[in-house]
Structure 1
Amino acid sequence: MKRVDVAYVLLLDEHNEKVLMVKNRGENSSYYTLPGGAVEYGETLEAAAIREVKEETGLDVEIDEVFTVSEAFIEERGHHAVFFTFTGKVVGGEIEISIPEEIEEVTWMEADLAEIYAHIPSELKGLIKKKSTIPYINRGRVVHS
């Protein structure tokens, strides 16, 4: 299995009630996720998260801290995916689908429903609104001599 890092961003509306979600076109059916995607070679998690949100939604965002880290084995792709979800805020742009072959819809969804699509376990229900985070630290390039 190939290891793949994926960066998502949790964006809440101004009332902290709705979450920005994208509807992805799947092979068999469409599905909702937080905006985000694969980290490219040489790219930081933060840069990937910002780039992916812009590509998928047309919005400019700033990243705050880490909301969750999770992983899954995506059998049909042969991937061991590690998902880094950041909190963030919209700082500009307009909602626009620039890659309609991948993204079907961009929508503000009720937080309770968004938690299901974001794969937050039922025992952690309400986690999105708690805004519990840990710092994200980019240590840059480290050289041990």
Structure 2
Amino acid sequence: MEQNAAKPPAPRVAVVLFLLKDESVLLGRRRSSVGDSTFALPGGHLEFGESFEACAAREVKEETGLDIDNIEVLKVTNDLFHEGAEPSHYIMILLRAVLANPNQLPENLEPDKCDGWDWYEWDSLPRPLFWPLEKLLQDGFHPFLIV
């Protein structure tokens, strides 16, 4: 094999969080080449050696300033993205949690990636949703049900 041959693209791991409050979930409007202007959950890339729970807590803190508690893994998905300059493949780890302090308010700490965060009732989510979240809904997924 040639030493200079390009490596084939590899799947990446994303950790995505359903942050629940009463009957609402926290969503932000994306500013990205993939899913621009759609509503999505907080989350990001898993770092080397990091647990899913630690990644969720870190990403939510970086994006919203919120501290979370009672973190649990709900589901894993296998998603291919064909938007943007290059296709990508993500293994998504979906978790849920609640606020460590219910009086905390989300801040938009990454305005270059998100137009802002707000709480939306699960039964009346805004549209358009980021397609992996839309697909979960179409498949009947519900983050409030006990797993």
TM range (shorter): 0.7 to 0.9
Larger strand share, 1 or 2: 1
Partner of 1:2: 10
TM-score, scaled to structure 1: 0.77
| SS of the residue 2:144 aligns to | helix
Judged with a 3 Å threshold, the aligned counterparts in structure 2 of structure 1 residues 10 and 115 are, in CA distance, closer, same or farther, namely: farther
The percent of aligned pairs where both chains have the same amino acid is: 28
Match of 2:145 among 120, 130, 133: 130
Q: Distance in 2 between matches of 1:67 and 1:12?
A: 13
Larger helix share, 1 or 2: 1
Judged with a 3 Å threshold, the aligned counterparts in structure 2 of structure 1 residues 72 and 113 are, in CA distance, closer, same or farther, namely: farther
- Which aligned segments of 4 or more residues in structure 1 are displaced greater than 6 angstroms? none
Deviation, 1:23, is: 1.4
Judged with a 3 Å threshold, the aligned counterparts in structure 2 of structure 1 residues 104 and 87 are, in CA distance, closer, same or farther, namely: same
Deviation, 1:104, is: 0.7
User: After the TM superposition, which residues 88-103 of structure 1 pair with which residues of structure 2 at under 5 Å, given as runs?
Assistant: 88-92=97-101, 93-103=104-114
Structure 1 unaligned regions, length at least 5: 133-145
RMSD of the TM alignment (CA)?
Answer: 2.3
Q: Distance in 2 between matches of 1:123 and 1:83?
A: 16
Residue 37 of structure 1 pairs with residue 37 of structure 2: no
Q: Distance in 1 between matches of 2:125 and 2:78?
A: 18
TM-score, scaled to structure 2: 0.76
Deviation, 1:79, is: 2.1
Paired residues of 2:76 and 2:94 also in contact (CA < 8 A): yes
Match of 1:107 among 81, 93, 118: 118
Paired residues of 2:39 and 2:126 also in contact (CA < 8 A): no
Q: Distance in 1 between matches of 2:24 and 2:46?
A: 26
Judged with a 3 Å threshold, the aligned counterparts in structure 2 of structure 1 residues 7 and 94 are, in CA distance, closer, same or farther, namely: same
Flag the structure with larger Rg. 2
Deviation, 1:64, is: 2.6
Q: Distance in 1 between matches of 2:122 and 2:79?
A: 22
Q: Distance in 2 between matches of 1:112 and 1:120?
A: 14
